[in-house]
Structure 1
Amino acid sequence: MTVTDGIDPSARPTGTGCADCDAAGGWWFHLRRCAQCGHIGCCDSSPGRHATAHWKSTGHPLVQSFEPGEPWFWDYGTNELYESGPELAPPAEHPADQPAPGPADRVPQDWRKLLQ
Protein backbone atom coordinates (compact mmCIF):
# COMPACT_ATOMS: atom_id res chain seq x y z
CA MET A 1 0.00 0.00 0.00
CA THR A 2 1.32 3.50 -0.82
CA VAL A 3 0.42 6.95 0.43
CA THR A 4 0.43 10.32 -1.37
CA ASP A 5 -2.10 12.69 0.27
CA GLY A 6 -0.62 15.20 2.74
CA ILE A 7 2.89 14.90 1.35
CA ASP A 8 5.04 17.65 -0.13
CA PRO A 9 7.87 15.87 -1.96
CA SER A 10 9.78 19.15 -2.33
CA ALA A 11 9.97 19.86 1.45
CA ARG A 12 13.58 19.43 2.54
CA PRO A 13 14.52 17.97 5.94
CA THR A 14 15.04 20.57 8.67
CA GLY A 15 18.37 19.01 9.61
CA THR A 16 20.09 15.72 10.35
CA GLY A 17 18.75 15.27 13.88
CA CYS A 18 15.67 16.02 15.96
CA ALA A 19 15.25 19.78 15.82
CA ASP A 20 13.54 19.90 19.22
CA CYS A 21 16.10 17.67 20.98
CA ASP A 22 18.90 19.77 19.48
CA ALA A 23 17.28 22.97 20.77
CA ALA A 24 16.90 21.51 24.27
CA GLY A 25 20.25 19.68 24.40
CA GLY A 26 18.50 16.29 24.44
CA TRP A 27 19.02 13.02 22.62
CA TRP A 28 16.94 10.68 20.46
CA PHE A 29 16.62 7.01 19.64
CA HIS A 30 15.32 7.06 16.03
CA LEU A 31 14.26 9.88 13.74
CA ARG A 32 11.10 10.62 11.78
CA ARG A 33 10.61 13.17 8.99
CA CYS A 34 7.36 15.08 8.50
CA ALA A 35 6.28 14.31 4.95
CA GLN A 36 4.49 17.65 4.65
CA CYS A 37 7.04 20.18 5.91
CA GLY A 38 10.30 18.23 6.44
CA HIS A 39 10.50 18.69 10.24
CA ILE A 40 12.80 16.09 11.78
CA GLY A 41 11.56 14.77 15.10
CA CYS A 42 12.39 11.85 17.34
CA CYS A 43 10.34 8.65 17.52
CA ASP A 44 7.93 7.62 20.28
CA SER A 45 10.59 5.43 21.90
CA SER A 46 12.71 8.55 22.42
CA PRO A 47 12.30 10.55 25.65
CA GLY A 48 11.00 13.63 23.80
CA ARG A 49 8.57 12.00 21.35
CA HIS A 50 8.92 15.11 19.21
CA ALA A 51 7.60 13.66 15.92
CA THR A 52 4.25 12.95 17.59
CA ALA A 53 4.30 16.39 19.24
CA HIS A 54 4.87 17.96 15.81
CA TRP A 55 1.82 16.12 14.42
CA LYS A 56 -0.33 17.24 17.35
CA SER A 57 0.75 20.88 17.04
CA THR A 58 0.61 21.16 13.22
CA GLY A 59 -1.90 18.56 12.08
CA HIS A 60 0.71 17.02 9.75
CA PRO A 61 -0.02 13.29 10.29
CA LEU A 62 2.42 11.63 7.89
CA VAL A 63 6.04 10.87 8.67
CA GLN A 64 8.70 8.88 6.94
CA SER A 65 11.46 7.12 8.81
CA PHE A 66 14.69 9.13 8.66
CA GLU A 67 16.75 6.03 9.46
CA PRO A 68 19.03 4.46 6.83
CA GLY A 69 17.30 1.76 4.79
CA GLU A 70 13.80 2.46 6.16
CA PRO A 71 11.60 3.96 3.38
CA TRP A 72 8.25 3.42 5.17
CA PHE A 73 5.68 6.06 6.08
CA TRP A 74 3.46 6.21 9.17
CA ASP A 75 0.13 8.02 9.47
CA TYR A 76 -0.43 9.20 13.05
CA GLY A 77 -4.04 10.08 12.27
CA THR A 78 -5.04 6.57 11.18
CA ASN A 79 -2.26 4.48 12.76
CA GLU A 80 -1.46 3.03 9.35
CA LEU A 81 1.90 1.90 8.04
CA TYR A 82 2.71 2.40 4.36
CA GLU A 83 5.60 0.42 2.93
CA SER A 84 6.22 3.08 0.29
CA GLY A 85 5.23 6.49 -0.95
CA PRO A 86 6.58 9.27 -3.12
CA GLU A 87 10.28 10.04 -3.08
CA LEU A 88 10.95 13.02 -0.83
CA ALA A 89 13.59 15.71 -1.37
CA PRO A 90 17.04 14.53 -0.33
CA PRO A 91 18.51 13.54 1.97
CA ALA A 92 16.23 10.56 2.70
CA GLU A 93 18.03 9.60 5.90
CA HIS A 94 20.38 10.95 8.52
CA PRO A 95 24.12 10.69 7.76
CA ALA A 96 25.42 7.11 7.89
CA ASP A 97 28.07 8.08 10.44
CA GLN A 98 25.49 9.56 12.82
CA PRO A 99 24.78 7.03 15.57
CA ALA A 100 21.40 5.86 16.79
CA PRO A 101 20.78 6.78 19.48
CA GLY A 102 22.35 10.14 19.05
CA PRO A 103 24.01 12.48 19.12
CA ALA A 104 26.77 10.43 20.70
CA ASP A 105 27.94 13.15 23.11
CA ARG A 106 24.45 13.57 24.64
CA VAL A 107 23.29 9.96 24.99
CA PRO A 108 23.36 8.84 28.64
CA GLN A 109 25.04 5.53 29.47
CA ASP A 110 21.73 4.09 30.75
CA TRP A 111 19.82 5.13 27.61
CA ARG A 112 18.14 1.72 27.18
CA LYS A 113 16.37 2.18 30.53
CA LEU A 114 15.12 5.59 29.38
CA LEU A 115 13.35 4.43 26.21
CA GLN A 116 9.57 4.74 26.17
Structure 2
Amino acid sequence: MQGVDPSVAPSGTGCADCDAADPQGWWFHLRRCAQCGHIGCCDSSPGQHASGHAAATGHRLARSFEPGEEWFWDFGEEVLYESGPELAGPQHRPLAQAAPGPADRVPADWTQHLHR
Protein backbone atom coordinates (compact mmCIF):
# COMPACT_ATOMS: atom_id res chain seq x y z
CA MET A 1 0.00 0.00 0.00
CA GLN A 2 1.61 3.29 -1.09
CA GLY A 3 2.00 5.86 1.70
CA VAL A 4 2.49 3.22 4.40
CA ASP A 5 5.73 2.58 6.27
CA PRO A 6 5.09 -0.54 8.38
CA SER A 7 8.40 -0.14 10.24
CA VAL A 8 7.56 3.21 11.90
CA ALA A 9 6.30 3.07 15.49
CA PRO A 10 3.53 5.38 16.74
CA SER A 11 4.63 8.79 18.01
CA GLY A 12 3.14 8.11 21.44
CA THR A 13 -0.02 6.97 23.19
CA GLY A 14 -2.13 10.11 22.70
CA CYS A 15 -2.66 12.96 20.26
CA ALA A 16 0.76 14.59 19.87
CA ASP A 17 -0.79 17.96 19.02
CA CYS A 18 -3.26 17.97 21.94
CA ASP A 19 -0.41 17.02 24.29
CA ALA A 20 1.81 19.81 22.93
CA ALA A 21 -0.87 22.53 23.11
CA ASP A 22 -1.02 25.15 25.86
CA PRO A 23 -3.41 24.50 27.42
CA GLN A 24 -3.35 20.82 26.59
CA GLY A 25 -6.31 19.45 24.67
CA TRP A 26 -8.32 16.24 24.78
CA TRP A 27 -9.58 13.81 22.15
CA PHE A 28 -12.48 11.53 21.38
CA HIS A 29 -10.67 8.87 19.30
CA LEU A 30 -7.14 8.53 17.98
CA ARG A 31 -5.73 8.02 14.48
CA ARG A 32 -2.21 7.00 13.48
CA CYS A 33 -0.45 8.26 10.37
CA ALA A 34 0.49 5.16 8.38
CA GLN A 35 3.53 6.89 6.89
CA CYS A 36 5.27 8.58 9.85
CA GLY A 37 3.45 7.25 12.96
CA HIS A 38 2.09 10.65 14.10
CA ILE A 39 -0.82 10.15 16.50
CA GLY A 40 -3.61 12.68 16.02
CA CYS A 41 -7.18 13.01 17.18
CA CYS A 42 -10.18 12.15 14.99
CA ASP A 43 -12.38 14.63 13.16
CA SER A 44 -15.05 14.36 15.88
CA SER A 45 -12.48 15.67 18.38
CA PRO A 46 -12.19 19.42 19.02
CA GLY A 47 -8.68 19.63 17.51
CA GLN A 48 -9.17 17.41 14.44
CA HIS A 49 -5.40 16.92 14.41
CA ALA A 50 -5.20 13.71 12.33
CA SER A 51 -6.79 15.33 9.29
CA GLY A 52 -4.75 18.48 9.93
CA HIS A 53 -1.58 16.39 9.87
CA ALA A 54 -2.66 14.77 6.59
CA ALA A 55 -3.34 18.17 5.00
CA ALA A 56 -0.07 19.69 6.23
CA THR A 57 2.20 16.79 5.30
CA GLY A 58 0.48 15.05 2.38
CA HIS A 59 0.46 11.81 4.42
CA ARG A 60 -2.97 10.68 3.27
CA LEU A 61 -3.38 7.33 5.04
CA ALA A 62 -4.26 6.94 8.71
CA ARG A 63 -5.13 3.88 10.72
CA SER A 64 -7.39 3.81 13.74
CA PHE A 65 -5.41 3.78 16.98
CA GLU A 66 -8.38 2.43 18.93
CA PRO A 67 -8.50 -1.09 20.42
CA GLY A 68 -10.16 -3.64 18.15
CA GLU A 69 -10.08 -1.39 15.05
CA GLU A 70 -7.80 -2.18 12.10
CA TRP A 71 -9.25 0.05 9.38
CA PHE A 72 -7.39 2.68 7.36
CA TRP A 73 -8.76 5.99 6.08
CA ASP A 74 -7.47 7.76 2.97
CA PHE A 75 -7.90 11.50 3.63
CA GLY A 76 -7.11 12.35 -0.01
CA GLU A 77 -9.62 10.01 -1.63
CA GLU A 78 -12.01 9.82 1.36
CA VAL A 79 -11.99 6.03 1.16
CA LEU A 80 -12.21 3.53 4.02
CA TYR A 81 -10.14 0.33 3.85
CA GLU A 82 -11.32 -2.37 6.24
CA SER A 83 -7.76 -3.63 6.64
CA GLY A 84 -4.22 -3.08 5.44
CA PRO A 85 -0.64 -3.98 6.21
CA GLU A 86 0.46 -4.72 9.77
CA LEU A 87 2.15 -1.70 11.34
CA ALA A 88 4.87 -1.61 14.01
CA GLY A 89 3.45 -1.88 17.51
CA PRO A 90 1.72 -0.91 19.56
CA GLN A 91 -1.44 -1.23 17.48
CA HIS A 92 -3.70 0.91 19.69
CA ARG A 93 -3.79 3.28 22.63
CA PRO A 94 -3.24 1.70 26.06
CA LEU A 95 -6.35 -0.14 27.24
CA ALA A 96 -6.22 1.74 30.55
CA GLN A 97 -6.39 5.08 28.70
CA ALA A 98 -9.98 6.32 28.57
CA ALA A 99 -11.83 7.43 25.46
CA PRO A 100 -12.43 10.27 25.39
CA GLY A 101 -9.16 11.12 27.03
CA PRO A 102 -7.05 11.80 28.81
CA ALA A 103 -9.61 11.58 31.58
CA ASP A 104 -8.21 14.52 33.56
CA ARG A 105 -8.58 16.88 30.56
CA VAL A 106 -12.05 15.92 29.31
CA PRO A 107 -14.70 18.52 30.25
CA ALA A 108 -17.92 17.37 31.91
CA ASP A 109 -19.90 18.60 28.88
CA TRP A 110 -17.56 16.90 26.37
CA THR A 111 -20.38 15.72 24.10
CA GLN A 112 -21.20 19.37 23.40
CA HIS A 113 -17.69 19.90 22.00
CA LEU A 114 -17.69 17.10 19.41
CA HIS A 115 -17.75 17.86 15.69
CA ARG A 116 -20.55 16.00 14.00
Q: Scaled by the length of structure 2, what TM-score is found? A: 0.97
In the TM superposition, what whole-angstrom CA distance separates every residue of 1:15-52 from its partner, at most 9, and x where no partner exists?
00000000110000000000000000000000000000
- The answer to whether the aligner puts 1:106 opposite 2:105 as a matched pair is yes
Shift of 1:80: 0.3
Letter in 2 for 1:105: D
Which ranges of structure 1 fall in alignment gaps of 5 or more residues?
none
- What is the deviation of 1:114? 0.5
Paired residue for 1:19, among 3, 16, 19? 16
Runs of 5+ unmatched residues, structure 2:
none
Matching of residue 8 in structure 1 with residue 8 in structure 2 = no
Aligned to 1:50: 49
Alpha-carbon offset, residue 5 of structure 1: 1.2
Which whole-Å CA distance do the structure 2 matches of 1:56 and 1:7 have between them? 16
Deviating 4+ runs (over 3 angstroms) = none
CA-to-aligned-CA distance 1:60-95 (integer Å, 9 cap, x gap): 000000000000000000000000100000000000
Aligned mates of 2:25, 2:63 — CA distance in 1: 21
Structure 1 Cα separation of the partners of residues 53 and 2 of structure 2? 18
TM-score, with length taken from structure 1: 0.97
C-alpha distance in 1, partners of 2:56/2:5? 18
May I ask how many residue pairs the two structures share in their alignment?
A: 113
Q: Percent identity?
A: 71
1:52 match: secondary structure:
helix
